[in-house]
């Protein structure tokens, strides 16, 4: 492959690479496609819904629309408390969707039930829009549906069921979301600028390469023949080739470096990757360390404006002393890393997980996670038969219109975790006999 072909290949590759991060989302669905369909006949399907506020979501196996099961929302203390869908990977900003569900409420009169859309922009400004409001009779399954378009400039969104006044229990069943219309492709301003810079640099390099090739092609032969033989032999031919090669490779290498730099900046800005300094992560579990946790709490204590909505979970691995003494410290480490792995999977890119002390972990997230944490740990506790794996958990929540100090939030979650831990221990008083534990006397 000659130099010109090599240059062309690298330039085309650069353009292809730049195009790989032009869009933040690639919509694979067509209008009319069903995006979500949950009948809640399977207990695992509760995962499509997340709590809105300090509510409890549970599978109600005695009441359903076309079956015997639905999702029941209890412990509603405010009318906006409910359940909904948060940042679903297949529901893309810019598109229009139709949502519907059957609802059932335990009241003695008609109540207004609503589908509401909450959106949060990159500057943390929050908006609430009513998708549909229905005057719904009590103790009867009623279908509520409407269309909504997620603004293209949002960073987070939620679509959820709530009531306009009372706080009665609500059941939801047969949720469907269908794509109605595709909007414009989501392209961030930073990515657009980065792509423009790459394109401009590519054009400049292409022009430079073409000019260099043209100059080499039009060099008069007389300029070579005017030199004496001794002058020509003084300059090795290989050096001349190397100089020409570097004149092509250097600008192309510069373009590649620029592309990589822009890509890294883009990924950092969009929270796709993080550069973690040494000591920021716990060496055993891989989550953030206690030092980083203290820094985070201090920052949130100084400025509550850093968050508009915040979800806290304090989790503790129960029976750590028993596990270490009876099964060995390697098994104890396994229990800790398993807990950290589950929490990290649930929190994802929406927040951070910190190991604060021994078997205690704290999760700080921008999105709710209570139902998923309780479900995941309950499943794991039933799976494991080799050693007792039980996680006590407590939760707290704060939002802009009823903001709570971060230390109060942590203490509230800590208190609930301690209560949950007492319940677990009282229910497992014979844990040593159950797992045939022989305590090692030290």
- Each of the 442 residues of the chain gets a pLDDT tens digit; together they read 444 444 444 444 444 443 333 333 344 688 999 998 888 887 655 657 888 877 888 888 889 998 889 999 999 999 999 999 888 888 888 999 999 999 999 999 999 999 999 998 877 788 999 999 999 999 999 999 999 999 988 888 899 999 998 999 999 999 999 999 988 644 444 445 545 555 565 555 555 545 554 544 444 444 444 444 444 334 344 454 555 566 668 778 888 888 888 877 666 555 455 444 556 889 899 999 999 999 888 888 876 666 678 899 999 999 998 889 888 999 999 999 999 999 999 988 788 999 999 999 999 998 889 989 988 898 888 776 678 899 999 999 887 666 778 899 999 999 999 999 998 888 776 655 555 444 333 3
Report if residue 243 sits inside a domain.
Answer: no
Instruction: Characterise 126 by phi-psi region: left (phi > 0), alpha (psi -120 to 50), beta (else).
Output: beta
239: number of Cβ within 10 Å: 9
Report if residue 3 sits inside a domain.
Answer: no
Asked if 373 contacts 350 with a C-beta cutoff of 8 angstroms, the reply is no
Q: Which residues contact 112 (CB under 8 A, 6 or more apart)?
A: 133, 134, 135, 136, 163, 164, 165
Task: Say if strands 309-317 and 391-399 run parallel, antiparallel, or are unpaired.
Answer: antiparallel
Are 309 and 426 within one domain?
A: yes
Give the per-residue pLDDT at 366: 85
Q: Which is nearest to 365 in space by CA: 333, 413, 317?
A: 413
Are 41 and 160 within one domain?
A: yes
- Integer Cα distance of 67 and 28 in angstroms: 31
- Last residue of some domain: 181, 212, 238? 181
Report if residue 424 sits inside a domain.
Answer: yes
- Last residue of some domain: 181, 202, 234? 181
Q: Which domain holds residue 117?
A: 34-181
Q: Which two tokens stand for residue 433?
A: 């006999």
Give the per-residue pLDDT at 52: 85
- Last residue of some domain: 126, 154, 181? 181
Number of domains within the chain: 2
End-to-end CA gap in the chain: 73
Asked if 92 contacts 150 with a C-beta cutoff of 8 angstroms, the reply is yes
Give the per-residue pLDDT at 186: 47
Q: pTM for this structure?
A: 0.46
Asked if 134 contacts 165 with a C-beta cutoff of 8 angstroms, the reply is no
Please report, for the domain that includes residue 313, its CATH number: 3.30.70.270
């Amino acid at each position: 492959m000659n130099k010109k072909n090599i240059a062309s290949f690298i330039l085309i590759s650069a353009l292809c690479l730049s195009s790989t991060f032009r869009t933040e989302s690639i919509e694979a669905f067509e209008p009319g496609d069903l995006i979500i369909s949950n009948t809640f006949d399977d207990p695992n399907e509760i995962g499509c819904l997340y709590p809105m506020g300090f509510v409890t979501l549970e599978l109600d196996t005695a009441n359903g629309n076309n079956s015997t099961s639905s999702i029941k929302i209890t412990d509603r203390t405010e009318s906006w408390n409910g359940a909904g869908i948060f940042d679903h990977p297949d529901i893309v900003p810019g598109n229009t969707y139709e949502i519907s569900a059957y609802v059932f409420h335990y009241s003695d009169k008609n109540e207004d039930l609503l589908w509401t859309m909450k959106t949060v922009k990159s500057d943390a400004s929050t908006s609430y829009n009513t998708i549909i409001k229905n005057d719904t009779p009590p103790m009867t399954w009623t279908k509520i549906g409407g269309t909504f378009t997620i603004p293209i400039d949002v960073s987070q969104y939620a679509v959820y069921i709530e009531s306009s006044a009372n706080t009665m229990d609500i059941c939801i069943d047969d949720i469907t979301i269908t794509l109605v219309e595709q909007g414009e492709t989501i392209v961030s301003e930073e990515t657009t600028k980065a792509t423009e810079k790459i394109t401009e640099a590519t054009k400049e390099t292409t022009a430079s390469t073409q000019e260099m090739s043209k100059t080499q092609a039009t060099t008069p032969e007389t300029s070579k023949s005017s030199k004496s033989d001794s002058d020509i032999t003084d300059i090795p031919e290989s050096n001349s080739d190397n100089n020409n090669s570097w004149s092509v490779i250097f600008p192309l290498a510069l373009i590649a470096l620029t592309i990589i730099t822009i890509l890294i900046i883009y990924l950092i800005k969009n929270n796709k990757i993080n550069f973690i300094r040494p000591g920021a992560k716990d060496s055993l579990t891989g989550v953030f360390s206690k030092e980083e946790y203290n820094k985070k709490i201090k920052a949130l204590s100084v400025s509550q404006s850093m968050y508009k909505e915040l979800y806290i979970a304090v989790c503790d691995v129960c029976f750590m002393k028993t596990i270490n003494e009876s099964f060995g410290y390697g098994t104890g480490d396994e229990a800790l890393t398993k807990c950290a792995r589950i929490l990290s999977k649930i929190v994802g890119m929406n927040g951070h997980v910190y190991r604060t002390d021994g078997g205690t972990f704290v999760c700080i997230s921008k999105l709710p996670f209570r139902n998923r944490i309780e479900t995941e740990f309950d499943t794991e506790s039933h799976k494991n038969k080799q050693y007792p794996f039980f996680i006590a958990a407590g939760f707290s929540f704060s939002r802009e219109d009823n903001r709570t100090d971060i230390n109060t939030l942590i203490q509230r979650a800590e208190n609930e975790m301690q209560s949950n831990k007492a319940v677990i221990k009282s229910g497992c008083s014979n844990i040593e006999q159950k797992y045939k534990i022989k305590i090692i006397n030290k």
